[in-house]
Amino acid sequence: MSNKDAHWLKTRNHMFVTLVLWFFFSIVIFMFGSELNTLSFLGYPLAYYMTAQGSLLAFVIILFWCTGKQEDIDEEFGYAEREGD
Amino acid sequence: MFKGGFIQNLPKIYGLYTGGFAVFILLMAVAESAGVSAKNIGVMFVVFTVGIYAFIGYLSRTVQVDAYYVAGRQVPTVFNGMATAADWMSGASFVALAGGVYFGGYTYMAFLVGWTGGYVLVATLLAPYLRKFGCYTVPDFIGTRYGGNLVRACSVFVLFIASFTYVTAQINATGTIASRALGIPFELGVWIGLISILICSMLGGMRAVTWTQVAQYIVLIVAYLLPVFWISSKVGGGVFPHLMLGDEVARLGELEQQFGLVKNSAADMKAAGVPGGLKYISGPHSAVPEGGMAVWKYLSLAICMMVGTASLPHILMRYFTTPSVKSARRSVAWSLFFIFLLYSSAPMLATLSKLSLMDPNLATGIIGKSIADVQAIEWVQRWSEVKQVFIADFNGDGILQLNEFFMRGDVVVLATPEVAGLPFVISGLVFAGGMAAAMSTADGLVLAISNALSHDIYYKIIDPKADTAKRLIVARVLLVIIGAAGAYIASFRLTSILGSVAWAFDFAMSGLFFPLVLGVWWKRATREGAIAGILAGISSGLVYLLYVYPKFSVAIWGVAHDPWLGIDHLRFGMIGAPICLVTMVVVSLMTKEPDAATQKMVDDCRIPSGKAVLGKQH
């Protein structure tokens, strides 16, 4: 497998992992909204907390993690951009 | 003081700007205590901030094609994040979001998840690859990747429908805020709003829009957060409301039980003469509605908003302006962070505002009090005069019940500072923030439309030999025409006919999401597949919208139809996007594989390093 293909394979897998996390926080949690609301976090009902703040925060964290990891992948295969590109 | 170029000095420049804005707020506070009227303070806030944006727009004028279309691709990561956040958060986000949460509770907050979660899709599936491609506009990517004028024209068509639906609402919001703050008629407000928008974008295109959007972000976030924190500590919600309102949310649940959530009949509301657009609390604040249908409605709305976010051209094109692929990706994360600051505060504002009106133990509480007393309150009188607040005594007991108090959603943001007894300088600041939010989004949208028309239709299809000067003149003329058309429609208040902002997301999702994503992620996607997918997606979405939206279906079929599987007019992308995907895949597989040059182009855009696929000037 060429360097290019190996880079893309790893990039693609990273994309899938990111999207699984995204799917969990945007969809899966809210499939169980009424069950989760019986639990509480910081005094808020949990499903309310997630839709008002928690999932939003999770997306921010996922994105910073995801960009950092993708930069490592690009570096590993020698595809990171250099100054003046 | 300023060594080096403009870009190196950005943190200093915007630091000074923020400091200057803080000084201005303090000056206004001094003016207020010296007896300057509330109205004049509102005028000064709007005139001062809009004047600064216009000045930035003038300083950013340019005669370079790449500066006009993509800000010379030198916008640093974090600043692009701020600009995108301003581009993203519309007048509706600023003035209506908290009101939506106030009346809609948990169910409405699917919008919050949808309007933030979409950025994960932008960062993983699109932004870095489109940046590497080096296109000027979104249709520029589709036209080059799939090859040919037809597919380019189809994508411009979808862009036009989606963005134009959105832009009239923004110009409308600009006009509303300008008219309230300046005390002028709405129609005049719309045209003043349009002129302000054009001054910010016409001379410098994307470059001017970028630097004004950064300035607008700073104003709008200060204007949103300052009142939220202030109100919270004033009404005893704690100094950091985001983490400390658990008890208040629980208390709202108790009060809902105590007062009862009653639904008014349409006939009662009509008989009482409740003005259009005003709402009352009829659903729970934090409780999750029971049943599979409720879950599906929540999820389908969130999906439409997320996928729509990842297809809206005025957002995607912001990531064409960064210096590198890496910074494009990073700036998506920063955008979301800056958006998060406002969106996570909206539910807190809604909670505080609802509690201060509902709790009879608080001095500000009005529910459960005598109607005569409530009608004597100054803010109730002021907002009743402009038909933003309405009281109806349905049961005739002289006591204000929860279902008898009507209010427009916008009032939550615009009046809460006043209700909580904050000085008027804060209300003036809120006007300036709303104006900044509406203007920045309108700027981005008008530019997205006129750039697609001037670059993709005029330059790429009609006159490929046009020189730089001519291209930029055409771009500017189109900018004025699009803006004027939007303002013209807005001034007739036809926006209610054009429908909801959510439609823009559904249109973009139906026609653009899969052609964009598959263009990067599936080499086998062909030109014919893309054309068929775009046309099938947008037309099926449009037909379903006509079918399901009562105003349209009554006009066409004479009857209103029930939504199919709960997919109403806010969610018609759930029909368009899957049809687009299936059509695109089937037609692609039936047609000849793309040639080697196209496949190489896709390979190149997947690797961050190396030259952009399209040249610097194209």
Query: What's this model's pTM, rounded to 2 decimal places?
Result: 0.91
User: For the segment B553-604, what is each residue's pLDDT rounded down to a tens digit?
Assistant: 888 888 877 888 888 888 999 999 999 999 999 999 999 988 998 998 898 8
Which residue is closest to A50 within chain B, CA to CA? B113
| Average pLDDT of the residues in B93-107 | 86
3-state secondary structure B198-254: HHHHCCCHHHHHHHHHHHHHHHHHHHHHHHHHHHHHHCCCCCCHHHHCHHHHHHHHH
Residue A27: list chain B partners with CB under 8 A: 299, 302-303
| pLDDT tier for residue B617 given thresholds of 50, 70 and 90 | low
| pLDDT tier for residue B183 given thresholds of 50, 70 and 90 | confident
The answer to whether B302 contacts A30, with C-beta atoms less than 8 Å apart, is yes
d(CA B275, CA B281) in angstroms, rounded, equals 16
Which residue is closest to B111 within chain A, CA to CA? A51
Who has greater pLDDT, B306 or B496? Answer: B306
The answer to whether B117 contacts A45, with C-beta atoms less than 8 Å apart, is no
The answer to whether A27 contacts B347, with C-beta atoms less than 8 Å apart, is no
**DSSP structural state of residue B72:** G
Catalogue all structural domains in chain B, each as residue range(s) with its CATH number: 39-496 (1.20.1730.10), 500-610 (no CATH)
Which residue is closest to B108 within chain A, CA to CA? A51
Q: Judging by DSSP bridges, how do beta strands A44-45 and A40-41 pair with one another? A: antiparallel
The answer to whether B109 contacts A19, with C-beta atoms less than 8 Å apart, is no
The answer to whether A53 contacts B117, with C-beta atoms less than 8 Å apart, is no
- Quick one: what percent of chain B has pLDDT higher than 70? 98
CB-hemisphere CA count at 13 Å for B457? 17
Distances in whole angstroms, Cα of residue B315 to Cα of each of B322, B586, B603: 13, 29, 24
pLDDT for position B516: 95
Residue A48: list chain B partners with CB under 8 A: 106, 249, 286, 288
pLDDT for position B3: 60
Domain range annotation of chain A: 21-76
| pLDDT tier for residue B33 given thresholds of 50, 70 and 90 | confident
Please determine, for residue B498, whether its predicted confidence score (pLDDT) is greater than 70: no
The answer to whether A67 contacts B112, with C-beta atoms less than 8 Å apart, is no
pLDDT for position A85: 45
> ipTM, 2 decimals?
0.94
Answer whether A15 touches B (CB < 8 Å). yes
Name the residue facing A60 among B101, B249, B340 (closest C-beta).
B340
Please determine, for residue B454, whether its predicted confidence score (pLDDT) is greater than 60: yes
- How many CB pairs (< 8 A) connect A and B? 147
pLDDT for position B499: 58
User: For the segment B102-112, what is each residue's pLDDT rounded down to a tens digit?
Assistant: 888 888 899 99
Q: Judging by DSSP bridges, how do beta strands A44-45 and B389-391 pair with one another? A: unpaired
- Quick one: what percent of chain B has pLDDT higher than 90? 30
The answer to whether B287 contacts A81, with C-beta atoms less than 8 Å apart, is no
Which residues 32-71 on chain A approach chain B with CB closer than 8 angstroms? 33-34, 36-37, 40, 42-45, 47-48, 51-53, 55-57, 59-60, 62-64, 66-67, 70-71
Name the residue facing A67 among B249, B330, B347 (closest C-beta).
B330
Please determine, for residue B526, whether its predicted confidence score (pLDDT) is greater than 80: yes
Q: Rounded to 5 degrees, what angle do the CA atoms B485, B458, B537 make?
A: 70
Which residue is closest to A35 within chain B, CA to CA? B288
| Average pLDDT of the residues in A28-54 | 87
DSSP H helices, B344-467, are: 346-358, 371-375, 378-385, 411-419, 424-451
The answer to whether B336 contacts A47, with C-beta atoms less than 8 Å apart, is no
